[in-house]
Structure 1
Amino acid sequence: MEKEFNFHHQFLLHRLLLFSLLLFPVLINSTTTTTSIQHEQSEIISRFQQYLRINTAQPSPDYEKSTQFLLTQAEFLSLESQVVEFVKGKPLVILKWPGSDLSLPSILLNSHTDVVPAEHSKWVHPPLGANIDEQGNIFARGSQDMKCVGMQYLEAIRKLKSYGFQPKRSLYLTFVPDEEIGGHDGVEKFAHSDVFKSMNVDIVLDEGLASPNENYRLFYAERTPWWLVIKSTGAPGHGAKLYDNSAMENLFKSIEIIRRFRASQFDLVKAGLKAEGDIISVNMASLKAGTPSPTGFVMNLQPSEAEAGFDIRVPPTANVESLEKRLAEEWAPASRNMSFEFKQKGTTVDYLGRPLITATDSSNPWWTLLEEAIKKANGKVGKPEIFPAATDSRYFRQVGLPAIGFSPMANTPVLLHDHNEFLNQGEYLKGNDVYVSIIEAYASYTPPGRDSLPRDEL
């Protein structure tokens, strides 16, 4: 009996040893794979942090340093590179991944290198530190707007190249200056240049917004900025005197009329009847009046002039003629000694007079491809939106190109231009995979029937 027990005991030990020897390489391989993935992700986050730490805040962005960083990335990825300056000291970096079929129009992935300034004392982490907290949130100015997207383009290309992917269409990446101050020395000039025309672009992807829920946000249009200054004049008078049509009284009448219009538009958003990008927004940005003195303002003198500035945002779906009539007849009528001027008045139509809207139906294959690519990467897509502010996309739409705004940031509070702007590293890494899917789909797209045409007809 004892011999039989020893035999079975030795047999079990032998089987256990054999099983361990078979399992050991699997465990080692699994550990090695996990370590390799962690190392790769660490490097990806590190590159993002490097870009965030370059101070490209307006009004004095360090474009020289950001340009060198981007050119280094391009060299490592074997991308063609070009730097152009439409205005001295404001470089626009163009990177190219050539396609295998140069007869096909190209894809453009656009991002801006500049960011808005930050009030350092109001941040829990330094705005240029790119610090990561215990929850994995990366705090930095530009983490959402929009250095994240620019780096996601590059990381997606890095991964696709490692897979051996070869695009059919040429892929361009542009890193542009001055978007945060209007883009007038950047994309506005670029979109009308011979350099841009030679790129033969068919579709542009640009920035979007973070989404507080699980659905990514896609933008097919944006509101146009109208920066308006209303002026009022009247005879000066004693501070104790009551009389009609003083400069201040007339201006306050206009402010009250505009306030009621603003409230009516805002009520539509509050009631859920319209999204923020669908309404005309008006916000008073400045107020100037009074007679200055060495000790402040003269309190017993009613001023002869007063003015107020307003930031108006107009969607391409708005009736512009009706708004202009309202402005001339109600907001600043000449009958009340009022006048107005625009510091900036953007257009809502392209060069052919068409609304600056990118189609979101089957007539636009790029929209369908984008939605499918996001879903393929396990992302969810929300309802198409009009971007509530202005981006460089408007300049591409003005020359007749479709442009879509998209920043892959789900489950993230909207913090662009806010204190403590951050993006979670997990969301950033997911965004890289989403752009892998998008670039693969876009760069491989061939219009239906094109492959069946004779070569001399292509």
Structure 2
Amino acid sequence: MHNADHSLLSLSLTTLVLFLLVSAQEDHQQDTPIARFQRYLRINTAHPNPDYSPAISFLKLQAQSIQLQARAIEFTPGKPVLLLTWPGSNPSLPSILLNSHLDSVPAEPSKWVHPPFSAVRSPDGKIFARGAQDDKCIAVQYLEAIRNLKAKNFVPIRTVHVSYVPDEEIGGVDGAAKFVASKVFEELRVGFALDEGQASPGDEFRVFYADRSPWSLVIKAEGTPGHGSRMYDNTAMENLMKSVEVISRFRGSRFDVVKAGVATNSEVISINPVYVKAGIPSPNVSGYNLCSSSLKIHLLIINGDEC
């Protein structure tokens, strides 16, 4: 081999080694809590078609990196519950459960400054992604808190479980509901559970102990039907508005308490009209296509701890 060939080979090997070293350094720099959070945010678990499989794989990988036990359980096919376990020094004591949900609400890309699953981080530190606040940040915070504690050789007295459930945004019927009713959950012997709450813009985190119970209510109003060219007393809308006005006054009184700083959102009864469904066609009568006057309003009432 000529000297020129030796020089070229040596140069190529040097370049390769430098490239590998730089790449390894970059990978190391990117393996930070923020980078891990961004990777999780880029997994699309938004409804109506949440992709749970890659989310479970990512969380399992993170759990394994900090030596947590991990198992995925499907109470409903295609809707896994991921359960992580950090054994305590006294497993005979009731355990602690930290819960988070995998899914998020839908995203409309055209209304976003950045694509909703790009997890772009702006120069001022803001991260743009669907599900960042509700509630993938909590999912990652649990893992990062455990990672930090383990780095300090901390061992909890009680066993700590971390659960990731599907379908929370659509009622949790195939997720948390089946999980808590299972033998698996019973065997955890949970003594204390912590779930998502309200975001904090500062370094303080508030913990709420109030039990908020949702109650869905449907109000149906009926009234005098007739042709659209005429006016009638006692229409369905008139009757419905009586209920709406009562609801609005009560909602306003509770909201005033929150605005005054006397109580937080979780400490009052919140009531929110969800949607109105109106108009039920009637059969033709004497050549006229009448429309019976009937409307429904769906309400979601959340009971605060003062109930």
Q: TM-score, with normalisation over the residues of structure 1?
A: 0.56
Kept in 2, the 8 Å contact 1:100–1:168? The answer is: yes
Mapped to 2, the partners of 1:104 and 1:283 lie a distance apart of 41
Alignment correspondent of 2:50: 61
Mapped to 2, the partners of 1:253 and 1:153 lie a distance apart of 47
Structure 2: gaps of 5 or more residues: 1-24, 283-288
Question: In structure 2, the residue corresponding to 1:220 is in which secondary structure?
Answer: coil
Kept in 1, the 8 Å contact 2:210–2:267? The answer is: no
Of structures 1 and 2, the one with the larger relative CO (CA 8 A, separation 6+) is 1
Alignment correspondent of 1:181: 170
> Identity, % of aligned pairs?
54
Taking a change above 3 Å as real, the CA distance of residues 266 and 44 of structure 1, as seen in their structure-2 partners, is: closer
Q: Tell whether 2:127 aligns with 1:127.
A: no
Q: Which AA in structure 1 matches 2:146?
A: I
Taking a change above 3 Å as real, the CA distance of residues 97 and 279 of structure 1, as seen in their structure-2 partners, is: closer
Alignment correspondent of 1:220: 209
Taking a change above 3 Å as real, the CA distance of residues 120 and 238 of structure 1, as seen in their structure-2 partners, is: same
Kept in 2, the 8 Å contact 1:114–1:179? The answer is: yes
Alignment correspondent of 2:91: 102
> How many aligned positions are there?
276
Can you list the C-alpha shifts for 1:28-63, whole angstroms capped at 9, x where unaligned?
xxxxxxxx9x95675322211111111111121111
Q: Which AA in structure 2 matches 1:216?
A: F
Q: Which runs of 4+ in 1 moved over 6 A?
A: none
Mapped to 2, the partners of 1:214 and 1:160 lie a distance apart of 19
Question: What pairs with 1:31-70 in structure 2 (closer than 5 Å)?
Answer: 42-70=31-59
Question: What pairs with 1:431-450 in structure 2 (closer than 5 Å)?
Answer: none
Mapped to 2, the partners of 1:59 and 1:141 lie a distance apart of 13
Mapped to 1, the partners of 2:146 and 2:202 lie a distance apart of 27
How far residue 284 of structure 1 moved from its aligned partner, in angstroms, is: 2.1
Can you list the C-alpha shifts for 1:174-226, whole angstroms capped at 9, x where unaligned?
11111111222111221222111111222112212112455322211243222
Question: What pairs with 1:412-427 in structure 2 (closer than 5 Å)?
Answer: none
Alignment correspondent of 1:421: none
Q: TM-score, with normalisation over the residues of structure 2?
A: 0.81
Mapped to 1, the partners of 2:133 and 2:34 lie a distance apart of 14
Mapped to 2, the partners of 1:273 and 1:172 lie a distance apart of 35
Mapped to 2, the partners of 1:215 and 1:70 lie a distance apart of 26
Q: Tell whether 2:198 aligns with 1:239.
A: no
Alignment correspondent of 1:290: 279
Kept in 1, the 8 Å contact 2:224–2:233? The answer is: no
Kept in 2, the 8 Å contact 1:289–1:303? The answer is: no
Q: Which AA in structure 1 matches 2:95?
A: S
Structure 1: gaps of 5 or more residues: 1-35, 294-299, 319-458
Alignment correspondent of 2:78: 89
Question: In structure 1, the residue corresponding to 2:61 is in which secondary structure?
Answer: helix
Mapped to 2, the partners of 1:218 and 1:127 lie a distance apart of 29
Mapped to 1, the partners of 2:95 and 2:272 lie a distance apart of 39
Q: Tell whether 2:194 aligns with 1:205.
A: yes
Q: Which AA in structure 1 matches 2:106?
A: P
Q: Which AA in structure 2 matches 1:87?
A: T
Q: Tell whether 2:134 aligns with 1:145.
A: yes
| Bigger mean CA offset, 300-309 vs 198-207 | 300-309
Question: In structure 1, the residue corresponding to 2:245 is in which secondary structure?
Answer: helix
Kept in 2, the 8 Å contact 1:248–1:303? The answer is: no
CA RMSD across the alignment: 2.5
